[in-house]
């Protein structure tokens, strides 16, 4: 149960004064449905109203607050003309301009002959000073009603800034004094304010420095958020460890046969990852391990060798892939090794129908299939294993938690191994995968040549097409990636369909097109033709980022490379150079390049290390842009910043481990306060695990 003390914060936003049903819909859109969502909405800028110049000294374009005398009203002479109010001080005149004004309101707000404090942006028009729709009009007797520093919050269409500010102040006034969940010595060492004081300071900034990631109030709230996340992950991890796994202790005879069948020797990194997995499989605890490795680092082979240990111990393995083409490529890669090592391997996708599917499922249930590779089809209800012992998930970010759980539930205490070819910065890995053990394969197999990467201005596109022609003539293949599917009036970018029409007119039927809007079967058919060599040139959007393995593809051309993130460019580059031929990546860009885009292309030319690239991507773009579709599943942080608060994250991880070690049920006074923290940041799933024992 949520602690009662938090009830005022978990009330609907309509509980806030002045937020009726109409405004509530807008506040919900900008912040969220509950008072706590409004409270946790960060101001992103500050309006400084402390400048108090005389009219003659007010700088055009700047926000100024000034005391003026109201001289004369000039109502709008015709319907669409503005209503004007002439004001003055001893140095000159200023005209206040109002469109669609209500004369009765202006007569009350600005009585002729009165003195008023006005605040807004000063403009120069026809040689005279004016202020259109002042932000504030205040009677000097109520001067205190005008805040000198005004926080600026995210808004949505139709939501006035003043309503959002009042809503936040209302949320602050409803915030109860909460018991301290942080260690007193840690607070003192860092000079952090209390939770309530930190919120107060955040929402009443006195300078832009108060909104910076290094401001004490924001550091305190960021640490609270990171600790809630790390504590929840630590509790989930502990809960998994408590639900005992089943030890798979194989002699390794199957693994030895598979190693012998490999046409290469494992790299040191592959060998180290395999040893970690072997230890997990042999242990009493359930394995939940992540393997991170760059494109082409050999994760699939490590996963297969892990499967042989489970198969030798008498259980089965499932390998879940995000697309049919990827599932079939895994089969193609593993079938020869599986055959030589005596492992029965099959593939199951949506394409399997009728009697053939029924026969496959019967063999699976009888235990005749040792390793089943497949797509979402594996999760369907009628897919039953005789004894599923290991679940391997490829490109795990393409699957939700429910899908992973549905597959592991088909086995008894099945171990879980997840793979990703998207190297993840260390800080992001801690927040997204902190509940898992992790192995990183940082080496490429020997003999892999680096991909020659060049940045070329788009004006030289004819030279690039000439180079592509030479590559195709010698029998090799080319990828050509565009940022859009269709032409757009809003963006001056080449669309895949337009580029396809152009290159089809040059190269004819050797050219194929794939994009995300195509039906899956049609897309797979085109990719299959490219994979088999029937097409020489594949025009695509980023749908090919994960998927096709075409050893003859030696050129990757990326149009408007400046529009892509570093990690995404690196993933695309990884599609070429997978065979033994020299490969190139051509980054076509439209100048002039901004500082970040130029840095991005430079880093890509300098290094092929995906882990280094991921860290640089985080540094250049911040986490916000990184958390796109390719890396979904990361917690959306409100106060913390992955790039700025890395040290705090490491401290939160260590603190969470200590808490769970000393007080696993959160029963001590600090433990009780930490339960409140988990509820505040919507990490209460972890508390449900505590209750479940």
DSSP characters over 489-538: SS----BHHHHHHHHHHHHGGGEEEE-TTS-HHHHHHHHHHHHTTS-SEE
Q: Give the pLDDT of residue 689.
A: 60
pLDDT at res. 485 = 54
Query: In this predicted structure, what is the pLDDT of residue 421?
Result: 80
Q: Of 299-308, 374-383, 637-646, which gets the smallest average pLDDT?
A: 637-646
Residue 625 has pLDDT above 90, yes or no: no
- Residue holding tokens 């000097």? 140
Handedness of CA 384, 390, 395, 397 (dihedral sign): positive
Instruction: Please compute the mean of the pLDDT values over residues 505-516 and round it to a whole number.
Output: 90
Rounded to an integer, the average pLDDT of 177-201 is 95
Q: In this predicted structure, what is the pLDDT of residue 621?
A: 63
Query: Is residue 491 pLDDT above 50, yes or no?
Result: no
The tokens for 385 are 């294993």
Dihedral of the alpha carbons of 117, 120, 126, 127, in degrees to the nearest 10: 60
Looking at the chain, how many residues does it have?
A: 693
- pLDDT confidence of residue 152: 93
> pLDDT tens digits, residue range 67-100?
999 999 999 988 889 999 999 999 999 999 999 8
Looking up tokens 């669409």 gives: 80
pLDDT at 225: 95
Q: What is the mean pLDDT of residues 524-546?
A: 83
Residue 589 has pLDDT above 70, yes or no: yes
Domain spans in the chain, listed from the N-terminal domain onward: 4-46+155-211, 50-146, 253-441, 452-607
**E strand or H helix that includes residue 346:** strand 345-348
Distance of alpha carbon 658 from alpha carbon 675, whole angstroms = 15
Proportion of the chain above pLDDT 90, given as a percent: 58
**Among 544, 519, 520, which residue's Cα sits nearest to residue 531?**
544
Please name the fold of domain 50-146. Answer: OB fold (Dihydrolipoamide Acetyltransferase, E2P) (2.40.50)
In a 3-state reduction of DSSP, which class is residue 389? strand
- Asked whether this chain's domains 253-441 and 452-607 adopt the same fold, the reply is yes
pLDDT, residue 489, reads 46
Mean pLDDT of 182-189: 94
Confidence of residue 224 (pLDDT cuts 50, 70, 90): very high
Give dist(CA 258, CA 149) in Å, integer: 69
Q: Per mean pLDDT, which range of 179-183, 234-238, 427-431, 600-604 is the poorest?
A: 427-431
Indicate the range of 275-289, 427-441, 586-600 predicted with least confidence: 427-441
Give the pLDDT score at 490. Answer: 46
Domain 253-441: top CATH class: alpha beta
Q: 398: helix, coil or strand?
A: helix
CA 91 from chain centre, in angstroms, equals 54
At residue 626, the pLDDT reads 41
d(CA 263, CA 441): 19
Q: How far apart are CA 562 and CA 621, in angstroms?
A: 13
Query: 340-354, 420-434, 516-530, 575-589: which has the highest mean pLDDT?
Result: 340-354
Mean pLDDT of the residues in the chain = 88
The stretch 628-642 carries a mean pLDDT of 62
pTM for the whole thing? 0.71
Give the model's confidence band at 484: pLDDT under 50 very low, under 70 low, under 90 confident, else very high: confident
Q: Which residues contact 538 (CB under 8 A, 6 or more apart)?
A: 477, 478, 479, 480, 511, 512, 513, 514, 526, 527, 530, 544, 548, 553
Compute how many other C-beta atoms are within 10 angstroms of the C-beta atom of residue 84.
Answer: 18
State the first-to-last Cα distance of the chain, in angstroms, to the nearest integer.
15
Q: What is the mean pLDDT of residues 594-616?
A: 85
Confidence of residue 11 (pLDDT cuts 50, 70, 90): very high
Q: Looking at the predicted structure, is the pLDDT value of residue 632 above 50?
A: no
- For residue 102, give the 3-state DSSP assignment: coil
Give the integer Cα–Cα distance in Å for 346 and 365.
Answer: 13
How many whole angstroms separate alpha carbon 572 and alpha carbon 538? 13
For 396-444, how does the pLDDT look when each residue is reduced to its tens digit (9 = 90+)?
666 666 677 778 889 888 999 999 887 777 777 777 677 778 888 888 7
CATH class of residue range 452-607 = alpha beta
Instruction: State residue 401's pLDDT score.
Output: 61
């Amino acid at each position: 149960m949520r602690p009662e003390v938090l009830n005022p914060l978990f009330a609907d936003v309509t509980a806030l004064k002045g937020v009726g049903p109409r405004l509530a819909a807008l506040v919900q859109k900008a912040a969220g449905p509950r008072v706590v969502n409004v409270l946790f909405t960060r101001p992103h800028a500050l309006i400084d109203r402390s400048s108090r110049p005389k009219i003659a000294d007010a700088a055009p374009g700047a926000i100024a607050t000034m005391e003026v005398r109201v001289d004369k009203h000039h109502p709008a002479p015709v319907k669409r003309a503005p209503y004007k109010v002439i004001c003055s001080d001893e140095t000159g005149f200023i005209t206040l301009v109002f469109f669609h004004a209500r004369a009765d309101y202006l007569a009350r707000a600005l009585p002729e002959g009165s003195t008023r404090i006005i605040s807004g942006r000063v403009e120069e028009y026809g040689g005279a000073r004016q202020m259109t729709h002042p932000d504030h009009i205040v009677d000097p007797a109520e001067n205190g009603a005008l805040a000198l520093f005004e926080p600026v919050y995210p808004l949505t269409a139709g939501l006035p800034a003043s309503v959002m500010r009042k809503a936040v102040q209302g949320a602050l006034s409803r915030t109860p004094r909460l018991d301290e969940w942080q260690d007193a010595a840690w607070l003192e060492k860092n000079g952090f304010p209390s939770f309530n004081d930190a919120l107060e300071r955040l929402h009443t900034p006195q300078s832009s420095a108060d909104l910076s990631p290094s401001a004490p109030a924001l550091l305190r709230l960021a640490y609270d958020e990171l600790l809630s996340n790390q504590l929840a992950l630590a509790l989930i991890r502990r809960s998994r460890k408590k639900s005992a796994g089943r030890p798979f202790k194989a002699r390794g005879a199957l693994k030895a046969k598979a190693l012998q069948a490999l046409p290469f020797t494992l790299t040191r990194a592959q060998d180290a990852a395999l040893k970690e997995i072997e230890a997990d499989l042999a242990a009493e605890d359930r394995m939940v391990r992540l393997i991170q490795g760059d494109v082409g680092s050999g994760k699939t082979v490590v996963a297969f060798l892990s499967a042989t240990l489970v198969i030798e111990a008498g259980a089965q393995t499932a390998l879940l892939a995000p697309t049919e083409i990827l599932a079939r490529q895994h089969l193609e890669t593993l079938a020869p090794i599986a055959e030589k090592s005596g492992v029965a391997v099959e593939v199951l996708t949506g394409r399997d129908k009728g009697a053939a599917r029924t026969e496959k499922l019967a063999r699976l249930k009888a235990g005749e299939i040792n390793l089943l590779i497949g797509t979402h089809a594996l999760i369907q209800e009628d897919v039953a294993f005789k004894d599923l012992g290991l679940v391997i998930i490829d490109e795990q970010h393409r699957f939700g938690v429910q899908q992973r759980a549905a597959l592991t539930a088909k086995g008894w205490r099945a171990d879980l191994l997840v793979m990703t070819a998207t190297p993840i910065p260390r800080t992001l890995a801690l927040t997204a995968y902190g509940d898992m053990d992790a192995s990183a394969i940082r080496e490429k197999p020997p003999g892999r040549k680096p991909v020659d990467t060049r940045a070329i201005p788009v004006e030289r596109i004819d030279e690039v097409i000439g180079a592509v022609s030479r590559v195709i003539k010698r029998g090799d293949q080319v990828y050509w990636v565009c940022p859009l599917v269709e032409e757009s009036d809003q963006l001056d970018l080449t669309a895949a369909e337009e580029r396809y029409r152009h290159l089809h007119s040059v190269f004819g039927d050797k050219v194929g097109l794939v994009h995300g809007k195509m039906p899956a079967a049609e897309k797979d058919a085109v990719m299959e033709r490219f994979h088999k060599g029937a097409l020489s040139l594949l025009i695509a959007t980023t749908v090919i980022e994960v998927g096709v393995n075409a050893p003859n593809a030696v050129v990757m051309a990326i149009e408007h490379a400046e529009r892509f993130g570093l990690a995404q460019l690196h993933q695309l580059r990884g599609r070429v150079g997978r065979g033994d031929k020299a490969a190139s990546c051509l980054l076509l860009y439209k100048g002039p390049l901004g500082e970040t885009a130029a840095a991005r292309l430079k880093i890509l030319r300098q290094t092929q290390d995906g882990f280094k690239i991921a860290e640089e991507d985080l540094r250049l773009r911040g986490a916000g842009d990184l958390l796109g579709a390719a890396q979904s599943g990361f917690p959306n942080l409100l106060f913390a910043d992955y790039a700025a608060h890395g040290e705090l994250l490491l401290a939160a991880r260590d603190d969470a481990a200590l808490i769970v070690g000393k007080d696993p049920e959160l029963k001590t006074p600090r433990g009780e306060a930490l339960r409140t923290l988990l509820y505040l940041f919507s990490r209460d799933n972890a508390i449900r695990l505590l209750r479940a024992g």
